[in-house]
Amino acid sequence: MAGWRRVFELTMTHEEIERLRVLSRSRTEPASRVSRAQMLLAYRENPSFCAVGQRVGVHHQTVQRCVERALAYGPLAAIEDRPRPGKEPVITPEAKAWLVSLACDKAKEHGYPHELWTTRLLARHAREHGPGAGHECLARLVQGTVCKILGQGEIKPHKVRYYLERRDAEFEQKMAEVLCVYREVQVLKKAAAKSKKSGKPVAIVSYDEKPGIQAIATTAPDLPPVPGTYATFARDHEYKRHGTLSLLAGIDLLSGKVHALVKERHRSREFIEFLKLLDAAYPASTTIKLILDNHSAHISKETQAWLAAKPAGRFEFTFTPKHGSWLNLIEGFFSKFARSILRHIRVTSKHELKERIMAGIDDVNRHPVIHTWSYKLAEAA
């Protein structure tokens, strides 16, 4: 004759009960955790294994094991799966370290035409050369296992993350010089806001070139949007090239006006032509300060000879450091101009492209925006 089943007294704190209630109603937790939470709550109301099993829809022995675990380890620990020993790993830690070390090399260094590893290539190489390196466990390595091992090591040898190395030994000094010019712009703006009187007239221009603007023509008319049918313009994939143009532009940091030229190229003679444009735009007593990069046209003999012929102090150049073009405020204007006017532009000739660009510059100058530089400006002396 079977004996009476023992009734266990299960005590739980208020916090444990609330936690179990949340888990029992969850739609995202694993089903095993939800079921165990429901068992413990039901057993607390009716301490009968059979009754709880019928209510939750499990065998009464399952309820008994859950309750016994709750008594031994606590209610919240009872809903978790117990750790199991599992199968012994086939790939040894030494083999994994060898594979990770291999992934940190380039594939071309091991005689392959590939620049970087693919996981399939890395698995094949490990199968062929792993046993010879003393790792017999890699003889049957598959691509999926390679992905897991690399994921554990948090390396992605099939990808490249680009960075910009500072190759200018005087980077900090040159950056400070540019920031000092921006600080001067800030001071001049504040002085102009307080009083109409000004000292020595100064114009500060951020200048650069935007080369390679493509004059592209369509081979078929664009199709307009149709409400309820086609949401966007439709354009034929084929196109015709008419060449490229260069935009030479400088933005006055005090007034927001953009001075611009559109030329076929951007050599010294084109740069001098732009300087002549600035020379004519400002009174003879004004000092014109330019922030620009170290392009060969800016420091060529032809440019230096032209500057030498001008009155002393008429032009002052402040050069950005190498790989420091982001310090030039005009780059932000070029980005906005490309996104608003040049994006998706189609023309029938380079002449039309030039007219469209200059019309865009005129549109900007009708509502000039005074740009402000703030990055590290407080550090400028």
The residue with greater pLDDT, 2 or 225, is 225
The Cα 346–Cα 224 span in angstroms is 15
* Mean residue pLDDT across the chain: 90
Q: What is the pLDDT averaged over residues 155-162?
A: 92
Structure token digits, residue 178:
């540019």
DSSP code for 202: E
Please give the pLDDT value at position 163.
Answer: 85
pLDDT tens digits, residue range 314-368?
Answer: 999 999 998 888 899 999 999 999 999 999 999 999 999 999 999 999 999 999 9
The Cα 52–Cα 58 span in angstroms is 8
The residue with greater pLDDT, 41 or 195, is 41
Decide if pLDDT at 381 tops 60.
no
Please give the pLDDT value at position 319.
Answer: 94
Beta-carbon count within 10 A of 291 CB: 27
Q: Do residues 350 and 243 touch, judged by C-beta distance below 8 A?
A: yes
Please give the pLDDT value at position 1.
Answer: 40
Q: Do residues 252 and 207 touch, judged by C-beta distance below 8 A?
A: no
The Cα 370–Cα 192 span in angstroms is 13
Please give the pLDDT value at position 132.
Answer: 93
pLDDT tens digits, residue range 253-281?
Answer: 999 999 999 999 999 999 999 999 999 99
Least confident of 15-24, 66-75, 102-111, 165-174: 165-174
Please give the pLDDT value at position 204.
Answer: 95
pLDDT tens digits, residue range 223-263?
Answer: 999 999 999 999 999 999 999 999 999 999 999 999 999 99
Decide if pLDDT at 6 tops 80.
no
Q: What is the pLDDT averaged over residues 54-82?
A: 89
Please give the pLDDT value at position 192.
Answer: 79
Look at residues 331, 322, 375 and name the one whose alpha carbon lies nearest to residue 166: 322
Proportion of the chain above pLDDT 90, given as a percent = 70
Please give the pLDDT value at position 164.
Answer: 79
Please give the pLDDT value at position 21.
Answer: 92
Please give the pLDDT value at position 236.
Answer: 93
Single pTM value for the model: 0.67
Please give the pLDDT value at position 189.
Answer: 87
Please give the pLDDT value at position 3.
Answer: 45
